[in-house]
Each structure stands twice: as structure tokens, then as C-alpha cells.
Amino acid sequence: MDGFIQFFQDYLLLIYLLIFTIILGFEVISKVPTVLHTPLMSGANAISGVVVIGGILLVRQSESEDVLSMALGMVAIVLGMINAVGGFAVTDRMLEMFKKKKK
């Protein structure tokens, strides 16, 4: 129990940020029309590629001799980057189709 209280106190500011971001997220996206469900999902999906930042941090903070960290960090960067770039690109492709027949 003490551990959890400690956790709460250590991360109080982040917990605020967490809760406000949740509320903001719901507010921003709550009224999305059916036609945009897939692009919204794949666009949001691309954003979850932020995990690539973690991979970069991991590699930058590693010693060059630490082969395990370097190798796995590289894997994390590649996977995160596929998620981010692939997600944004495919969403753009989809939305381009939506666009051209609007005229």
C-alpha cells in the first residue's frame, strides 16, 4: 500500500497531465462522423508511434558496448517508426481519396 501512495505522490503532476489529457482527448474526438472512423483510427494509430521517442532515448542513453540495449533499442526505433510513418502515410492516402470526389 505504501508503495502505491509513494507512486501517487511521486507522479502527482504527471497524474494531473494524464487526467486532463484523457478529458481533452474525449472532448476533441467525441463527435466524429462514420465516414472518418477509419482515418481517425489510423491517424491516431500513427500518433501511437511516439513510442519511437522512447527508442531514441534508450539508444542515446546506452553505452556503445552494451550490445543488448543497442540492438533492442534499434528494434524499438524501427518498429515505432514503421508505426508512425506508415500510419500517417496510409491515412493521407485514404483522405486523398475522400478529397478528390468532393468537388
Q: Which of residues 8-37 bind other proteins (CB under 8 A)?
A: 10-11, 14, 17-18, 21-22, 24-26, 28-37
Q: Nearest distance from residue 11's CB to other proteins, in Å?
A: 8
CB-CB contact of 39 with 98 (8 Å): yes
Query: Between residue 34 and residue 53, which ones bind other proteins under the rule CB under 8 A?
Result: 34-53
Amino acid at 5: I
CB-CB contact of 84 with 52 (8 Å): yes
| 103: three-class secondary structure by DSSP | coil
Query: Between residue 60 and residue 99, which ones bind other proteins under the rule CB under 8 A?
Result: 60-64, 68-70, 72-99
What distance in Å separates the CA atoms of residue 89 and residue 98, rounded to the nearest whole number? 15
Q: Nearest distance from residue 16's CB to other proteins, in Å?
A: 11
Q: How many residues bind other proteins (CB under 8 A)?
A: 85
Q: Nearest distance from residue 85's CB to other proteins, in Å?
A: 3
What distance in Å separates the CA atoms of residue 69 and residue 75, rounded to the nearest whole number? 10
